[in-house]
Amino acid sequence: MVVTHEERASVEVGGQSATLVALLRQPLLAALEGRGRFYRVQIEKIGRVGEVLLSVTSGRGRVPLIFEPDDLQPAYVARVVSETVARFGL
């Protein structure tokens, strides 16, 4: 498992695919940093056609998000994560 952590952002991004972690790490840090709480983001490949499960966990709960391979553009993933965290008060 690959895990990266940035202290000032209080965001941990990890997963079994170093490629996906490297692709999404910076956009996820940008989407979650500055919210005043710790977040753990786990990235996993699921299914046979390349879906990706992105689980965002904070002290207030967990939200699973599933992305199709065509939806893995970093800016789009960051926007979905940011909007979801805000909507559910994570």
d(CA 14, CA 16) in angstroms, rounded, equals 7
Enumerate domains of the chain plus CATH numbers: 2-88 (3.30.160.100)
Judge whether residue 80 has pLDDT over 70: yes
Q: Tell me how crowded residue 4 is: count the other CB atoms within 10 A of its CB.
A: 17
**Average pLDDT along the chain:** 89
Identify the pLDDT of residue 4. 53
Q: What percent of the chain has pLDDT over 70?
A: 90
Helical spans, DSSP H, in the chain = 18-32, 74-88
pLDDT greater at residue 47 or residue 65: 65
> Global pTM?
0.84
